[in-house]
Structure 1
Amino acid sequence: MARNETPRGREEPVAGRTVQHGTGVQSNRAFPTEAYPHHLDPFVLFERFYIDPDKGFPMHTHKGFEIVSYMIEGGMEHEDSLGVEHTAYEDEAMRITTGREISHSEFPADGRACNGLQLWVNLPRAKKDVEPDYVDASAAELPTETHDGATVTTVVGEGSPIDLHTEMAYLDVRVSDTWTWSVPDGWTGFLYGVEGEGTVDGDAFGVGDLLPVTDARDVTAAADDGTVRFVAVAGRPHDEPIQQRGPFVL
């Protein structure tokens, strides 16, 4: 199977892998890795980044995809070639449409370490050269609902000010009992563990674990003691090759 193909069928959780970026920033990458060497069309990559106070990403260039950054702890300063300067803090999100080309930098705020989640979403080939764009959302702007056994915040999806050129949903879920996630027919998705320990469909699932969901089905998550937190992301595939070349997706 080629690296950029999305496997189909029921899969089991797999642990993320440590990635050391050239700037000294360390990440736990969910995919693609040696353990899971696939993109999940329309998703290019997903990782949790950890930036120490003296590290960060100086100004660099991207093109051909969209970036969703969602903060878990601390703050991250963003500056870009559109003239945007913004700091995102815990439970806040930023979306960058790189399109034909954008340059940006990312550094921890307030002299403190930070960590968060970053998702790269492919742009369909017909939109690779769209104008670059940026939008952010505070925690108060992201809809949060309490269900039996879970609290769900919509990072991307209905009610959120964050939208993309790809039809998708991105949920931040805190499960205290059980919660069932339904992946729409024809969509591809994944779960990624953020905090705590639990199970998904009976399999152990914890911090840094990935569960690819490449068939339309229901996934049931349950907490062990306390609360398990994960993100649930799904989108409609473009059915186009994902050609990643470092910071560019061609």
Structure 2
Amino acid sequence: MSQSDRTGERPGGPVAGETVRHGTGVNSNRAFPTSNYPHNLDPFVLFERFYIEPDTGFPTHPHRGFEIVSYMLDGAMAHEDSLGVAHTAREGAAMRITTGRGIEHSELPADGAACNGLQLWVNLPRAEKDAEPDYEDAEPAELPTEERDGASVTTVVGEGSPLSLRTPTEYLDVAVTDAWSWSMPDDWAGFCYGVAGEGTVDGRDFGEGDVLPVTDGRDVELATDEGFRVVAVSGRPHGEPIRQRGPFVL
């Protein structure tokens, strides 16, 4: 990808994710908000890929005011929370947490080995900020996968998935094999994020750690010669300010 694309100088083009370090030394590639894309993406607060080494992680900490979707790419992550849930998510599994009025949880590597995955924060609308905290998870076999023209698509959140959010959302894990068109409702917003391999989005180079924000509901064309993997996430905006204060979304 050219430097002009990576710094966002070409409107509507891909930008590079940015490394952030948090927890007890966890490195993440954050898609947004970053210096390259210094905005939330209503209804989404942030999105990143986390890499947890055996001696790092996220010890018990609080959250409130939003929902979390964690999706494992490799290894296993142990989750425990103040609802009494203790669950280990392995490759291909997903978890949804509604933090609502407040929850505490920890996220640590399981089995003494490193793990990595994707985490999405989805804002709760103002009227639901004080919702009861809740949790659900899904094993890989529960997430529907179908072959579409030019891609194999797994639905993490959306039609056929057991995971549900309080905001209408579609979260797809897409293995692009040739050319694939991604679409969303006209009044939704979303993004593509590069997980592995290389290709193009709307004719522009796109690879691991790159993100394409989409705020105009347009169709996006993805193509590859070698094969690449992306997640494509979209949702209906709330039209409300997103006020993030560390682990809280007010």
TM-score by length of 2: 0.95
> What percent identity do the matched residue pairs reach?
73
**Distance apart, 1:147 and its partner CA:** 1.4
CA contact (8 A) 1:199 1:224 kept: no
Alignment of 1:164-175 (within 5 A): 164-175=165-176
**Distance apart, 1:224 and its partner CA:** 2.6
**Distance apart, 1:216 and its partner CA:** 1.6
| Matched position secondary structure for 2:127 | helix
**Distance apart, 1:23 and its partner CA:** 1.4
Residue aligning to 1:245? 245
CA contact (8 A) 1:61 1:101 kept: yes
| Matched position secondary structure for 1:229 | strand
- 1:70 is aligned to 2:71: yes
Residue aligning to 2:112? 111
**Distance apart, 1:146 and its partner CA:** 0.7
Unpaired stretches in structure 2, ≥5 consecutive residues: 1-9
CA contact (8 A) 2:23 2:56 kept: no
The code of the aligned residue for 2:135 comes to Y
The code of the aligned residue for 1:83 comes to G
The ranges of structure 1 where at least 4 consecutive aligned residues each deviate by more than 2 angstroms after the TM superposition are: none
| Matched position secondary structure for 1:210 | strand
TM-score by length of 1: 0.95
CA contact (8 A) 1:10 1:213 kept: no
Residue aligning to 1:220? 221
**Distance apart, 1:148 and its partner CA:** 2.4
Q: CA RMSD for the aligned pairs?
A: 1.0
Residue aligning to 1:234? 234
Alignment of 1:76-225 (within 5 A): 76-225=77-226
CA contact (8 A) 1:14 1:210 kept: yes
Across the two proteins, how many residue pairs are aligned to each other?
241
Unpaired stretches in structure 1, ≥5 consecutive residues: 1-8
CA contact (8 A) 1:45 1:120 kept: yes
**Distance apart, 1:10 and its partner CA:** 6.0
- Superposed CA deviations along residues 184-206 of structure 1, whole A, max 9, x for unmatched, are 11100000000000000100000
